A and B are shown apart, each in its own frame.
Chain A
Amino acid sequence: MSEPGRHEWPLFEVFVRAKRGLNHVHVGSLRAADHDMALHHARDLYTRRNEGVSIWVVRSDDVVASAPAEKESFFEPSGDKIYRHPTHYTIPGSVPHI
């Protein structure tokens, strides 16, 4: 809980691209006064063990997230569409090179 009158820094989400990784992965969050400070804090908090080659920070406020209440309508309709997976299809023996 913040003390009365104490100004709290905004929250940022941190994404780090690992040496062997192709994409930035969400690694956690931190507080900072602005984007510049957030980037430096991210370096100090999340790349101490030689993990990263690139960092993104984004204000948590700016992330638009899907609502848990919409989970059913958002995600369940894809649950039975087995034909969207390549493994659904049987490859005829006469088709070569697959």
Chain B
Amino acid sequence: MPEEPGSAYDALTDHEDDARWAYGTGFTDPLAGVSSAVPGGADREALTTYCLMLGDDALIMSHRLQEWVTRAPEIEDELALANIALDLLGQARLLLGRAAEVEDAGRDEDSLAYGREAGEFRNVCLAEPADADFAHLMARLLAFATWRLALLDRLSASADPVLAAIAAKGVKEVTYHRDYAARWVVRLGDGTDLSHQRMQAAMTAVATQTGELFAVHPVEQAMAAAGFGVDPAQLRPEFATVWSQVLDAATLEAPADPAVGVGEGRDGRHTAALSGILDELQSVARSTPGGVW
């Protein structure tokens, strides 16, 4: 019997053990060995919404970062931004997947990402604005990553084993995101007169958008009380410490602390920018429903 085309490669790929490869192997499944059963007594509706909140944060921020590909100041930074966007997209997939699993209503990560209207998205508004320049992007990424790292760090002790595993994976990724943004804020803040001035403007502008990060939505409150989620109000001291350390190192003036917002994004009330993001994000899925590559 003639061999099928490509069978010469079968012998190379039919082993479980890929440790013999020097490069590009040993990939791990972050959910390996984690039970996907929803813990007994969980409020499924609230847990679904909570997963959507954290997943939508990552999805929308990732989309904005992707827009910098081909527009970054240097090719090395373009790749760094793409890497960060892909980390967040990976987190979004896991979180939306978990939301669908807990909801158990026949939806999946794709229908949640591509099938919802703007009003059904639960991300914080900080993820939405288009960045005026690279300094604004770095300021926004610093705020987002500092907040998200504090959140995921605590979430890795969640009573939902899947959320805990997703958070533990995310901590390593977001630690790098925060570090990347902080390095640029310091470099530009403590750079030339012009870079200092533009970095200061960006930090001042972004600081006004951070109040909502610490607003407590009823779903977040319920999930924190049940041991599944994190109370965002608790994240503020860590955020403030990191934020002021970076500002100091960057020789920038600390903008006024914003008042804690009302968390409009968590309620599905968004800036107009989100519609623009979704138009692009969902265009292919809407024009070709069910299409695959």
A and B assemble together: yes
Task: Tell me if B76 counts as interface (CB < 8 A to partner A).
Answer: yes
Could you tell me which residues of chain A, from 12 to 62, have a CB within 8 Å of some CB in chain B?
Answer: 18-21, 30-33, 36-37, 40-41, 44-45, 48-51
| A-contact 0/1 string along B20-36, CB 8 Å cutoff | 11111111000000000
Q: Say how far A57's CB is from chain B's closest CB, in angstroms.
A: 12
**Bound Cα distance A10, B170 (Å):** 33
- Name which of B26, B74, B83 has the most chain A CB atoms within 10 A of its CB: B74
Task: Tell me if A9 counts as interface (CB < 8 A to partner B).
Answer: yes
What is the total of A-B residue contacts with beta carbons within 8 Å?
41
Q: Say how far A96's CB is from chain B's closest CB, in angstroms.
A: 34
**A50 with B27: CB separation less than 8 A:** yes
Q: Say how far A32's CB is from chain B's closest CB, in angstroms.
A: 7
The list of the 8 closest CB pairs from A to B, nearest first, reads A49-B24, A41-B76, A44-B80, A20-B22, A51-B23, A18-B22, A44-B79, A44-B83
- Name which of B22, B23, B77, B83 has the most chain A CB atoms within 10 A of its CB: B23
- With a CB–CB cut-off of 8 A, which chain A residues contact B25? 50
Answer whether A9 and B23 are a contact pair too, CB < 8 Å, given A40-B80, A40-B183, A41-B80. Answer: no
**B187 with A33: CB separation less than 8 A:** yes
**Bound Cα distance A41, B75 (Å):** 10
**Bound Cα distance A51, B19 (Å):** 12
- With a CB–CB cut-off of 8 A, which chain A residues contact B24? 49-51
**A9 with B74: CB separation less than 8 A:** yes
**Bound Cα distance A95, B210 (Å):** 80
**Bound Cα distance A50, B26 (Å):** 7
**B80 with A18: CB separation less than 8 A:** no
Cross-chain contact of B180 among A9, A31, A33, A40 (Cβ < 8 A):
A40
- With a CB–CB cut-off of 8 A, which chain B residues contact A37? 183, 187
- With a CB–CB cut-off of 8 A, which chain A residues contact B77? 41
Could you tell me which residues of chain B, from 1 to 51, have a CB within 8 Å of some CB in chain A?
Answer: 19-27
Give A residues with C-beta under 8 Å from B: 9, 18-21, 30-33, 36-37, 40-41, 44-45, 48-51
**B183 with A21: CB separation less than 8 A:** no
Cross-chain contact of B26 among A19, A31, A32 (Cβ < 8 A):
A19
**Bound Cα distance A15, B76 (Å):** 16
Can you report 9 A-B residue pairs in the complex whose CB atoms are below 8 A from each other?
A9-B74, A18-B23, A19-B22, A20-B22, A21-B22, A41-B80, A45-B76, A45-B79, A49-B24
**A31 with B74: CB separation less than 8 A:** yes
- With a CB–CB cut-off of 8 A, which chain A residues contact B21? 20
Q: Which residue of A lies closest to B25 (CB)?
A: A50
Answer whether A30 and B76 are a contact pair too, CB < 8 Å, given A37-B183, A48-B83. Answer: yes
**Bound Cα distance A48, B197 (Å):** 34
**Bound Cα distance A18, B19 (Å):** 12
Q: Say how far B89's CB is from chain A's closest CB, in angstroms.
A: 14
- With a CB–CB cut-off of 8 A, which chain B residues contact A51? 22-24
Could you tell me which residues of chain B, from 229 to 272, have a CB within 8 Å of some CB in chain A?
Answer: none
12 further A-B pairs in the complex, CB-CB below 8 A; given A37-B187, A40-B80, A50-B26: A18-B23, A31-B76, A36-B183, A37-B183, A40-B180, A45-B76, A48-B79, A48-B83, A49-B24, A50-B24, A50-B25, A51-B23
Q: Say how far A2's CB is from chain B's closest CB, in angstroms.
A: 12
Answer whether A20 and B83 are a contact pair too, CB < 8 Å, given A33-B187, A49-B24, A51-B24. Answer: no
Q: Which residue of B lies closest to A45 (CB)?
A: B79
**Bound Cα distance A9, B83 (Å):** 21
